[in-house]
Structure 1
Amino acid sequence: MVILAKPNETLMEHTENTLKVFKCIKECYPDVPKICGVPDFWEHLFYILFFHDFGKAAVGFQNSLNSNNYWGYRHEILSACFIISLNDIFPEVTINAIGLTIITHHKDVKKLRKDYQIKNKEAKRVFDEKLFELKPNFDELISYLNLVPKLSEKYLGYKLKTPNNISFEDLRSVYNQTVLNYFKDFKIGNYNELHGIYGYFLKGFMNACDYLASGSKYEILSAVKNGDLYTFDSLRKTQLIASKTKGSSFLIAPTGSGKTEASFLWADNNQTDNFSKRIFYVLPFTASINAMYNRLVKDLGSDELVGISHGKASYFIYKSVESGDYDESNFETKRIQNLTKKIYRPYKILTPFQLIKFFFGVKGFEMGLSELTNSLLILDEIHAYDARVTCLLLESLKILKSKFDVDIFIMSATLPSFLKNLFSKELDISNFISLDSKELDSFTRHKVNIINNCIENCCDKILNDINSGKKVLIVCNTVDKAQFIYEWFKEKDVDNSALLHSRFILKDRERIEKNLDNLNLLIGTQAIEVSLDIDYDVLYSEPAPLDALIQRFGRVNRRGWKDDIIKQVNIFKIGSDNDKYIYNQNLVNKTLDVLNNFDILPESKIQEIIDHVYSEGYDSKNQETFDEVKLSFNRLLKNIVPFINFNKDNDFYNLFDSYEVVPQKFREEYLDEINNKRYYKSMSYCLSISKGQFFKLQKDNNVEFDCNSNTYFIDVKYDSELGLKLSDEESTIL
Structure 2
Amino acid sequence: MDHILAKSQQYGGETLAAHTWDVLVKLSDLYRLRPRLDNGSQLWHCLYWAAFLHDFGKAARGFQQRLRGGQAWSHRHEVLSLAFVDTIADGFTPEEQRWLVAAIVSHHRDEPEIAETYPPGLRHDPLVDLCNELEPQVIDHLQRWLTECANPWRDLLGLSDVVKCIQPKPVQVAADRLRNWLQVYHNWVRQLASTPGAARIPGILLRGLITSADHMASAHLRCMPPPVHDSWQTLAARAFPGQQAYTHQRQSAEVSPKSALLMAPTGSGKTEAALYWALGNGTATPARIFYTLPYQASMNAMYDRLRHTFGDAAVGLQHGRAVQALYARFHEGEEWSAGARRAQWEHNLNLLHARPVKVLSPYQLLKALFQLRGFEAMLTDYAQAAFIFDEIHAYEPERLALITGMMRYLRERFAARFFVMSATFPQLIRDHLGAALGNAPVISASPDIFARFRRHKLHLRDGELTDPATVEEIATTVRAGRQVLVCANTVARAQEMRDNLARAGLTDNHLVLIHSRFTYGDRNRIEQDIRARCGSNVTPRPPLALVATQVVEVSLDIDLDTIYTDPAPLEALLQRFGRVNRKGAKGICPVYVFRQPTDGQGVYGRDRDPERAGHIVRVTLDELERHNSETIDEAAINQWLDRIYADPTLHQQWTDAYRRMAQQVDLIINGLRPFQSDEQREDDFERMFDGVDVIPQCFEHDYVNLIVDERYIEANNYLVSISKQRFAILRNQGKIRPAEEVGQRRVWVALLPYDSRNGLSFGDTTYDPDWS
Fold conserved between structures, TM > 0.5: yes
2:695 match: secondary structure: strand
Q: 1:27 aligns with which of 22, 28, 32?
A: 32
Contact 2:286–2:386 under 8 Å retained in 1 = no
Query: Equivalents in 2 of 1:276, 1:464: separation in Å?
Result: 51
1:687 aligns with 2:699: no
Out of 374-383 and 663-672, give the one that drifted further.
663-672
CA distance, structure 2, for counterparts of residue 462 and residue 326 of structure 1 = 41
Letter in 2 for 1:229: A
* Deviation per residue, 1:574-624 (Å, 9 max, x gap): 127662343554432333333334321122222222222222485433332
d(CA) in 1 for partners of 2:421, 2:444: 10
Give the aligned partner of residue 659 of structure 2: 627
Contact 1:243 1:262 in 2 (8 A): yes
- Amino acid paired to 1:498: V
Contact preservation (8 Å) 1:96, 1:177:
no
Give the aligned partner of residue 474 of structure 1. 486
Instruction: Please tell me whether the aligned partners of residues 278 and 372 of structure 1 are also in contact (alpha carbons under 8 angstroms).
Output: yes
**CA displacement 1:428-485 (0-9 Å, x = unmatched):** 1332211233331111111111111212222122222122221111111111111111
Q: CA deviation at 1:382?
A: 0.4
Equivalence for 2:207? 203
Distance 1:41 1:192 in 2: 19
Instruction: Tell me the distance in 2 between the aligned counterparts of 1:182 and 1:139.
Output: 31
Q: TM-score, normalised by structure 2?
A: 0.89
Structure 2: distance between partners of 1:95 and 1:639: 25
Structure 1 match to 2:144: 143
Cross-structure match for 2:540: none
Equivalent residue for 1:232?
A: 242
Shift of 1:17: 1.8
CA contact (8 A) 2:287 2:384 kept: yes
Show the counterpart of 2:523. Answer: 509
8 Å contact from structure 1 (residues 77, 173) kept in 2: no
- Structure 2 counterpart of 1:214, from 211, 218, 222: 218
Residue 589 (1) aligns with residue 589 (2)? no
> Corresponding residue for 2:677?
645
- For residue 181 of structure 1, the aligned residue among 180, 183, 187 is 187
Q: 1:191, 1:164 → 2: CA distance? A: 34
Q: Deviations over 1:280-313 (max 9, x none)?
A: 001010000000111111122x322111111001
Could you tell me which amino acid in structure 1 is paired with residue 323 of structure 2?
A: S
Residue 131 of structure 1, CA deviation: 3.6
Structure 2 matches for 1:383-422, cutoff 5 A? 383-422=393-432
Cα offset, 1:698, TM superposition: 1.9
Conserved 8 A contact 2:693-2:722? yes
Cα deviations by residue, 1:411-431 (Å, 9 ceiling, x for unpaired): 001222211122113321332
Q: Tell me which amino acid in the other structure corresponds to 1:676.
A: D
Query: In the aligned structure 2, how far is the partner of 1:442 from the partner of 1:578?
Result: 31
Q: Confirm whether residue 12 of structure 1 aligns to residue 9 of structure 2.
A: no
User: Does 1:484 pair with 2:508?
Assistant: no
Alpha-carbon separation, structure 2, partners of 1:646 and 1:127? 31
Pair 1:435–1:195, CA change in 2 (3 A):
closer
Identity in percent? 30
Structure 1 vs Structure 2 CA RMSD = 2.3
Deviates more, 1:467-476 or 1:169-178: 169-178
After TM superposition, give the deviation of residue 666 of structure 1 in Å: 1.7
Change in 2 beyond 3 A, CA 1:218/1:455: closer
Distance 1:566 1:65, change over 3 A: same
CA distance in 2, matches of 1:194, 1:476: 47
SS at match of 1:5: coil
Greater shift in the superposed pair: 285-294 or 567-576? 567-576
Could you list the per-position Cα deviations for residues 151-173 of structure 1 after superposition, in whole angstroms to 9, with x for gaps in the alignment? 22333124511222223458534
Partners of 1:359 and 1:504 in 2: how far apart? 31
Aligned counterparts, 1:135-534, within 5 A: 135-146=136-147, 147-155=149-157, 156-158=159-161, 159-169=164-174, 172-174=178-180, 176-185=182-191, 189-191=193-195, 196-216=200-220, 217-225=222-230, 226-227=235-236, 228-246=238-256, 247-269=258-280, 272=283, 275=285, 277-300=287-310, 302-322=311-331, 324-457=334-467, 458-495=470-507, 496=509, 497-517=511-531, 518=533, 520-534=544-558
**Match of residue 86 from structure 1:** 88
From the superposition, tell whether residues 276 and 696 of structure 1 become closer, same or farther in structure 2 (CA, over 3 Å): same
- Match of 1:553? 577
Q: Of residues 698, 703, 711 in structure 1, which corresponds to 2:747?
A: 711
**Counterpart selection for 1:664 from 669, 692, 697:** 697
> Cα distance, 1:663 vs. partner?
1.9
**Shift of residue 121 of structure 1?**
4.2
Q: CA deviation at 1:641?
A: 0.8
Q: Which deviates further from its counterpart, 276-285 or 110-119?
A: 110-119
CA distance in 2, matches of 1:134, 1:551: 68
Question: What is the deviation of 1:65?
Answer: 2.9
SS of residue matched to 1:592: helix
Q: CA deviation at 1:193?
A: 8.4
Q: Is the 8 A contact 2:371 2:678 kept in 1?
A: yes
Deviation at 1:116, TM superposition (A): 4.6
The number of residues matched between the two structures is 724
One-letter amino acid of the counterpart of residue 515, structure 1: D
Question: Quick one: structure 1 residues 12 and 206, their matched pair in 2 at CA, closer, same or farther if it must change by over 3 Å?
Answer: same
Report how far residue 22 of structure 1 moved.
1.8
Check the 8 A contact 1:446/1:566 in 2, yes or no.
Answer: yes
Say if 2:591 is the partner of 1:569: yes
Contact persistence 2:483–2:545 (CA under 8 A)? yes
Residues 392, 459 of structure 1: alpha-carbon distance in 2 compared, 3 angstrom cutoff:
same
CA contact (8 A) 1:80 1:174 kept: no
**Unmatched tracts of structure 1, length 5 or more:** none
- In the alignment, does 2:638 pair up with 1:607? yes
**Which residue matches 2:608?**
none
Q: Report SS of the residue matched to 2:255.
A: coil
Cα separation, partners in 2 of 1:680 and 1:550, compared to 1, 3 Å: same
The alpha carbon displacement at 1:550 in A equals 0.7
Paired residue type of 1:470: R
Confirm or deny: 8 A CA contact 1:279 1:375 kept in the other structure. Answer: yes
Shift of residue 175 of structure 1? 6.3
Change (3 A) 1:616 1:434: same
Post-superposition offset of 1:118: 5.4
1:634 positional shift: 1.8
Q: Could you tell me the TM-score, scaled by structure 1's length? A: 0.94
**Secondary structure in structure 2 of the residue aligned to 1:704:** strand
Q: Report how far residue 488 of structure 1 moved.
A: 0.9
AA aligned opposite 1:165: P
- Partner deviation per Cα, 1:57-110 (whole Å, 9 max, x = no partner): 122323333335434432111112211223322233322321122112111123
Alpha carbons 1:307, 1:349 under 8 Å: kept: yes
Check conservation: 1:55, 1:134, Cα contact below 8 A: no
- Select between 580-589 and 155-164 the one with higher mean Cα deviation: 580-589
- 1-structure distance, mates of 2:347, 2:477: 45
Q: Is the 8 A contact 1:117 1:175 kept in 2?
A: no
For residues 238-297 of structure 1, the C-alpha deviation after alignment (integer angstroms, 9 at most, x for no partner) is 111112112101111011101101111111117545x35210001010000000111111
Q: Report SS of the residue matched to 1:455.
A: coil
